[in-house]
Amino acid sequence: MRPILLQGHERPLTQLKFNTAGDLLFSCSKDHVINAWYSHNGERLGTYDGNNGTVWTVDVDSESRFLVSGSADNTLRLWNVASGKCLYTWEFPTAVRRVAFNEDNSKIVCITEQRMGYQCAIRVFEINREADGTTQSEEPLYLFNPIGSKATVCAFTLTPNVIITGHESGKVALFNVETGQEFESNERAHGARVTDLQLSSDRTYCITSSEDKIARIHDTKTLMVIKTYTTETTLNSAALAPTQPYVLLGGGQPPGMGTRTSAQNAEFKTRFWHKVYEEEVGRVKGHFGPINTIAVHPAGTCFASGGEDGFIRLHHFDDSYFKAQPFGAIEAED
Amino acid sequence: MAATADDIDYSDIEEKYQVQYDDGFDNMLVVDGVPVIDKSKLEKLVARICKEFSRKGVSIKPEDVYMPWNDSTGKSQGFIFVEFRNVDDANLALAAMHNHPFDAKHQFKVNRFTDIERYANLDETYIEPETEEYAPREHLRAWLADPQGRDQYVTYRGEDVEIYWHGKPSQSELAMKPDWKDFLYVAWSPLGTYIATLHRQGVRLWGGSSWKPQQRFAHPLVKLIDFSPCEQYLVTWSNEAIVVPEGAPQGPQYLSPDDEGNNIAVWDIKSGDLLRTFSTVSENDSTAAKKQMQWPALKWSPDDKYVARVTAGQMISVHELPSMYLHGKKSLKIEGVVDFEWCPQGDRDREDAEKDALTSTNGAAAKAVKKARENMLVYWTPEVANQPARVTLLGFPSRAILRQKNLFNVTECKLYWQNQGDFLCVKVDRHTKTKKSIFCNLEIFRVREKDYPVEVVELKDTVTDFSWEPKGERFAIVSSNDPNLGNPGPGITIKTDVSFYQLEHGKNDFKLLRTLPSRTSNAIRWSPRGRHVVLATVGSSSKSELEFWDLDFNVEDAGRREGQVSKEEWGSGIQLLGTADHYALTDVEWDPSGRYLATSASSWTHTLENGYAIWDFRGQEITKQIQDRFKQFIWRPRPRTLLTKDQQRQVRKNLREYSRTFDEDDAAEESNVSAELVALRKRLVDEWNAWRMRSKAEFFGDGGQRAGKEGKTHSETEEKEEIEVWIDEVIDQVEEEVVE
């Protein structure tokens, strides 16, 4: 499995995202730039310039028409994927930490930072998909402030107007965005900050990673913990591999934390765990720093990891990956 | 179970040695056998008796003598009472005058007054003494009967001791987690029978399958212990001199006031009795005290018959066991002696010694049996004035000098015996005339041959470690010419070369097999069965390599090794089997079978990644445990095999058949384990699938609308078409006019 090294960022990566078709990979970084790449050869399609601070988050709709990004310059931007033009900009008092489209691309949810006296806020915007997309309503459809620990990650569930959130305290919760009410929560889902949350292709379950070194699969309706993956290092990202029964975990202690150990090199590897058996099956090395984000191709043919070292490593799986059955032949539902 | 030394019940011993209190009549004796007289002769007789007593050294006065009378006959009763000034005098008189012939007809019978009283009051009826019920002691070597033939090891971490079985992965399990408390460290006895813990109060031995306390040795503040090779005796040492407080229990198992000021004690393990104590501080030289004490300070002969210690520069004192008397009532006076070592007993010697013992007990005159080799020790003396330095091989107890070798320009000698007692290597650090540079000679004595021939291997570098192959004819050395050698500092890793030498039978000298240049290895660990050797870099903060070597890689069967080596190319059998790395390791130890190697990083040395790892002899990691506050890892030693040479040969010959049963076991176990695992995994998959079905049904209804949509996307991806589209996009068009 020879990786393609994507060198387009000068600062640590913050999020990677494949489009639904899987031909494009979007990356954002602390260097203010969003890049789009061809996933099959790693060529850069283009950049989305305009942000004036770290771009924390990016999401693309299922038609690959609109791209939405959230940045530390307190803006939420809507981009035209094909032209790279910024279509609309929303401004907030604090930085945007997470954005996500809903299933039918009609809404986006965004989390803004709790800072300078402003509370952490969750806003939902209606996206006007008519015409060229430059006319959007400035005011959010819904706005509420989650009580308690601030939210760090979120996504729309299948139930209309219900989002699933991960929190600073390790809590995972379900909110009704219309009312702002937290109607389901698992306070002990994690012991530390939830760092990533990615949905399964049918949005019925999700995987979360946390600084408590654990990743978990939750049912998005009941929040029941289905699987637990306990690793030895702080986790920054967790992704589900479609078609194969694996989950991909990445992380690593930031430099300067703790003493030099023999395990130092092992920390910056993408770990593959068996989704059902909760056993580690392999590691992919390559990064020189902690892995900040992992994304898997929707068809499960390749994955990309973005590191604190500023590189994206795009790996196309070999045949052996699909043929290997480390624990014998099984038929696990996706 | 008594867990700590505090809880131990001493009442039995206390009762046994309880002090008898003085009831006032101890200075009174009753003398029987005195002539029966009438009153007229009283004065004369009393005067005579006084004279007899005085002649034996106990003077008494007539007024101390009381003679009872039989008033009815007017005659004396034939006995007298004598009062002495004190108990000591009475005891003396008792010893002197008992059975003393007074005249031709009369003989004194002397008894203590208190005894007479006691015997008079004695119950005449005979009571059958109750026979103590025989309590069978558990088998101290029970662990050897393990059906899977596993070895054990002990780990000491934080405050916890754990004893594990080590075997195949499925058979490696906790054997015992004792609740021993407040001790310094643990140590196995050399044959693995006991495990010792060092407490404030003394040493405690545990053993048997129940791990019950087996023996205790009350040496307060003990810091170091050393077992004799046959596990009969124990030496303990404390840095604090022995003090026996007032009222301390007395008896053969306790230190007595005579032992005060000493700090080494020798104990009998079976009885728990104290045999003797020594002082490590010699009165007349203060420099010796400053030097680091050598441990073990007492060196045992391999058969447990003698124990010897050296008084630097003066003598070697050999004590006999079990009396602990100085052998021949005098030490070996050797001017300038620095160090000595006993020659180990080889398997052959042991057999001979056993046969000897048999014939002597049977009294049979079996002269055909070869006499067992006498114990031997080797010592060296440095250069003094005009005398060269000298290494001497001495027979004991004959004290005959067997071989002497003079050496010149000697800085230091180290004595290394091969474990069968076949060879002795004296590593001589020599200096040039200017004393500026140091180089090294290895003087190798072939002890089994006539006249003990010596051969020299000269080396230019400094040798930092030397090690004989157990039961072999090879040795390995670590040598270095690194300029940093001798001034260790943080971060300095010394470059070393490792060389193997082997005895060449034709020429009878040791020839270099192979040198492995530019390593960092500083420790050689031979497998206890020979052939395999591990080179390790110990105690370095930056390097921690392990190299696993096989010295007979080409030889199929190690049993046929003898005589074949010469035909092969010299040194061709040396093969690196594997390398490994255990960060910041401090200790490297083979298991007694020579199949596994344990490395550990102890928190006594540093606090980085403490823990231990077990490797097989090829360097494959079997297990690794990183545990903070990890202190000790020790394999449990095994006693020597009970099989005779012939039986061993038989086993080797039929190895195939034996191994078949083991292979079957392995296969059965593997399928067993995998069956369990397969079942577990099947359950996990079933649970997962059930949940997936449920959650899909909940969201989309049974087999729901979504399925159609999903199916569509799937078919889309499957019927993938390759469409190549070329898009020419004009991004910018600039017309430039070129002006000439």
Q: Measure the CA angle with vertex B307, ends B304 and B309; round to 5°.
A: 155
B398 or B707: which carries more pLDDT confidence? Answer: B398
Tell me the residue type at A298: P
Does the pLDDT of residue B233 top 90, yes or no? yes
Residue A334 is assigned to a structural domain of this protein: no
Sheet containing B410-417: which strands, arranged edge to edge?
B410-417, B423-431, B438-446, B454-459
Residue A319 in contact with partner chain B when CB distance is under 8 A: no
- Our CA-based measurement puts residue A314 at a distance from the nearest CA of chain B, in whole angstroms, of 21
Q: Do A327 and B698 touch (CB under 8 A)?
A: no
Does the pLDDT of residue B717 top 60, yes or no? no
B566 or A117: which carries more pLDDT confidence? Answer: A117
Q: Is B333 helix (H, G, I), strand (E, B) or coil?
A: strand
- Which chain B residue has its CA at the smallest distance from A219's CA? B695
Inter-CA distances, A99 with A123, A165, A197, A304, B172, Å: 10, 12, 12, 20, 51
In chain B, pLDDT over 90 holds for what percent of residues? 17
Q: Do A332 and B689 touch (CB under 8 A)?
A: yes
User: In this structure, are residues A215 and A207 in contact, taking their beta carbons and an 8 Å threshold?
Assistant: yes
Rounded to whole angstroms, the Cα distance separating B457 from B732 reads 85
Task: Kindly report whether the global pTM for this prediction surpasses the value 0.80.
Answer: no
pLDDT of residue B711: 42
User: In this structure, are residues B482 and B425 in contact, taking their beta carbons and an 8 Å threshold?
Assistant: no
Interface test with B, best of A204, A221, A224, A274 (most B CBs within 10 A): A204
pLDDT tens for each residue of B427-438: 998 888 777 778
pLDDT of residue A237: 92
Q: Do B681 and A262 touch (CB under 8 A)?
A: no
Rounded to whole angstroms, the Cα distance separating B440 from B444 reads 13
Residue A178 is assigned to a structural domain of this protein: yes
Residue A53 is assigned to a structural domain of this protein: yes
Rounded to whole angstroms, the Cα distance separating B223 from B242 reads 13
Contact list in B for residue A259 (CB cut-off 8 A) is: 608
pLDDT of residue B125: 80
Does the pLDDT of residue B209 top 90, yes or no? no
Average confidence (pLDDT) per 10 residues, chain A, 334 residues:
86 92 91 91 89 92 90 91 89 91 90 87 88 82 87 89 90 89 88 91 90 90 89 88 89 61 61 88 85 91 90 88 74 72
- Which chain A residue has its CA at the smallest distance from B709's CA? A202
- Our CA-based measurement puts residue A19 at a distance from the nearest CA of chain B, in whole angstroms, of 14
Residue with tokens 């969003």: A34
Residue A333 is assigned to a structural domain of this protein: no
pLDDT of residue B292: 67
Sheet containing B224-227: which strands, arranged edge to edge?
B224-227, B233-237, B264-268, B274-278
Rounded to whole angstroms, the Cα distance separating B154 from B188 reads 9
**Beta strand A55-60 with B496-504: parallel, antiparallel or unpaired?**
unpaired
- CA-based nearest residue to A13, from A70, A66, A54: A54
pLDDT tens for each residue of A94-133: 999 999 998 888 899 999 988 888 888 999 998 888 877 7
Residues in Cβ contact with B489 at an 8 Å cutoff, skipping those fewer than 6 apart: none
- Which chain B residue has its CA at the smallest distance from A245's CA? B685
ipTM of the complex: 0.81
Q: What mean pLDDT comes out for the span B701-730?
A: 57
Q: Do A328 and B678 touch (CB under 8 A)?
A: yes
Give the closest of A205, A299, A333 to B689, CB-based.
A333
pLDDT of residue B210: 86
The rounded mean pLDDT for chain A is 87
Q: What mean pLDDT comes out for the span B92-108?
A: 82
pLDDT tens for each residue of B162-197: 999 998 777 788 888 888 888 889 999 999 999 999
The per-residue DSSP string of B103-158 comes to SSS-B-EEEEHHHHHHHHTS--S--PPPPPPP-PPPPTTGGGG-TT--EEEEEEET
Inter-CA distances, A146 with A71, A152, A164, A221, B181, Å: 20, 11, 12, 19, 53
B735 or B377: which carries more pLDDT confidence? Answer: B377
- Which chain B residue has its CA at the smallest distance from A205's CA? B695
Residue A232 in contact with partner chain B when CB distance is under 8 A: no
Residue A261 in contact with partner chain B when CB distance is under 8 A: yes
The per-residue DSSP string of B21-78 comes to PP-S-TTEEEEE-PPP-BGGGHHHHHHHHHHHHHHTT----GGGEE--EETTTTEE-S
pLDDT tens for each residue of B132-143: 888 878 888 888
- Our CA-based measurement puts residue B432 at a distance from the nearest CA of chain A, in whole angstroms, of 44
DSSP code of A55? E
A10 CA to centre of own chain: 20
Residue A317 in contact with partner chain B when CB distance is under 8 A: no
Does the pLDDT of residue B718 top 60, yes or no? no
Does the pLDDT of residue B560 top 50, yes or no? no
Q: Do B685 and A276 touch (CB under 8 A)?
A: yes
Sign (positive or negative) of CA dihedral B57, B63, B68, B69:
positive
Rounded to whole angstroms, the Cα distance separating A315 from B266 reads 69
Rounded to whole angstroms, the Cα distance separating B627 from B550 reads 31
Phi, psi of A333 (to 5 degrees): -65, 145
Interface of A with B in 88-147 (CB under 8 A): none
Residues in Cβ contact with B702 at an 8 Å cutoff, skipping those fewer than 6 apart: none
Residue B358, number of CB atoms within 10 A of its CB: 12
Q: Do B699 and A204 touch (CB under 8 A)?
A: yes
Does the pLDDT of residue B548 top 90, yes or no? yes
Range of the domain at A236: 3-323
Return the HEC string of B264-288. EEEEECCCCCEEEEECCCCCCCCHH
Residues in Cβ contact with B656 at an 8 Å cutoff, skipping those fewer than 6 apart: none
Contact list in A for residue B699 (CB cut-off 8 A) is: 158, 202, 204, 221
A196 or B607: which carries more pLDDT confidence? Answer: A196
Give the closest of B544, B581, B684 to A276, CB-based.
B684
Residue A331 in contact with partner chain B when CB distance is under 8 A: yes
pLDDT of residue B733: 78
Q: What mean pLDDT comes out for the span B588-599?
A: 92
Rounded to whole angstroms, the Cα distance separating B174 from B167 reads 11
Sign (positive or negative) of CA dihedral B137, B140, B145, B151:
positive
Rounded to whole angstroms, the Cα distance separating A214 from A236 reads 10
Q: Do B699 and A221 touch (CB under 8 A)?
A: yes
Contact list in A for residue B544 (CB cut-off 8 A) is: 262
- CA-based nearest residue to B236, from B260, B202, B208, B209: B202
Give the closest of A226, A262, A327 to B691, CB-based.
A226
- Which chain B residue has its CA at the smallest distance from A259's CA? B608
Q: Do B717 and A299 touch (CB under 8 A)?
A: yes
B515 or B666: which carries more pLDDT confidence? Answer: B515
pLDDT of residue B713: 46
Q: Do A328 and B681 touch (CB under 8 A)?
A: yes
Lowest mean pLDDT among A6-10, A153-157, B549-553, B555-559: B555-559
Rounded to whole angstroms, the Cα distance separating B281 from B395 reads 28
Residue A219 in contact with partner chain B when CB distance is under 8 A: yes
Residue A189 is assigned to a structural domain of this protein: yes
A136 CA to centre of own chain: 25
Contact list in A for residue B606 (CB cut-off 8 A) is: none
B2 or B605: which carries more pLDDT confidence? Answer: B605
User: In this structure, are residues B208 and B199 in contact, taking their beta carbons and an 8 Å threshold?
Assistant: no
Residue A330 is assigned to a structural domain of this protein: no
Rounded to whole angstroms, the Cα distance separating B436 from B601 reads 37
- A:B CB pairs within 8 Å: 48
The rounded mean pLDDT for chain B is 82
User: In this structure, are residues A165 and A119 in contact, taking their beta carbons and an 8 Å threshold?
Assistant: no
Residue A277 in contact with partner chain B when CB distance is under 8 A: yes
pLDDT of residue B163: 92
Residue B240: exposure state from Cβ atoms within 10 A (0-12, 13-18, ≥19): exposed
pLDDT of residue B2: 46
Contact list in A for residue B691 (CB cut-off 8 A) is: 219, 226
Residue A79 is assigned to a structural domain of this protein: yes
Total number of domains in chain A:
1
Give the closest of A221, A261, A299 to B695, CB-based.
A221
Give the closest of B583, B693, B696 to A261, CB-based.
B583
- Our CA-based measurement puts residue A167 at a distance from the nearest CA of chain B, in whole angstroms, of 24
User: In this structure, are residues B574 and B533 in contact, taking their beta carbons and an 8 Å threshold?
Assistant: no
Q: Do A158 and B699 touch (CB under 8 A)?
A: yes
Residue A41 in contact with partner chain B when CB distance is under 8 A: no
- In sequence order, the β-bridge partners of residue B457 are B442
Rounded to whole angstroms, the Cα distance separating B108 from B96 reads 10
Question: B68: which 2 tokens?
Answer: 């009872």
Cα end-to-end distance, chain A, whole Å: 23
B189 CA to centre of own chain: 4
The CATH number for A108's domain is: 2.130.10.10
Rounded to whole angstroms, the Cα distance separating B485 from B465 reads 13
- Our CA-based measurement puts residue B717 at a distance from the nearest CA of chain A, in whole angstroms, of 8
pLDDT of residue B366: 47
Residues in Cβ contact with B251 at an 8 Å cutoff, skipping those fewer than 6 apart: B13, B16, B17
Interface test with B, best of A277, A279, A281, A325 (most B CBs within 10 A): A277
pLDDT of residue B21: 59
Lowest mean pLDDT among B8-22, B183-197, B247-261: B8-22
Contact list in B for residue A275 (CB cut-off 8 A) is: 688
Does the pLDDT of residue B698 top 50, yes or no? yes
- Our CA-based measurement puts residue B165 at a distance from the nearest CA of chain A, in whole angstroms, of 26
Sign (positive or negative) of CA dihedral B578, B582, B583, B584:
negative
Phi, psi of A207 (to 5 degrees): -115, 135
Return the HEC string of B353-370. HHHHHHHHHHCCCCCCCC
At residue B707 the predicted structure's pLDDT band, cuts being 50, 70 and 90, is very low
Question: B71: which 2 tokens?
Answer: 């008033």
Q: What mean pLDDT comes out for the span B253-268?
A: 86
pLDDT tens for each residue of B275-288: 888 887 655 444 44
Residue A151 is assigned to a structural domain of this protein: yes
**Beta strand A96-101 with A107-112: parallel, antiparallel or unpaired?**
antiparallel
Interface test with B, best of A62, A221, A228, A262 (most B CBs within 10 A): A262
Which uninterrupted H or E stretch holds B93?
helix B87-97
Q: Which contacts of B430-438 are long-range, i.e. CB under 8 A and separated by 24 or more positions? A: B433/B409, B438/B411, B438/B462
Give the closest of B685, B691, B696 to A330, CB-based.
B685
Does the pLDDT of residue B65 top 50, yes or no? yes
Q: Is B255 helix (H, G, I), strand (E, B) or coil?
A: coil
The per-residue DSSP string of B526-578 comes to E-TTSSEEEEE--S-SS--EEEEEES-TT-S-GGG-TTTGGGSPTTTT-EEEE
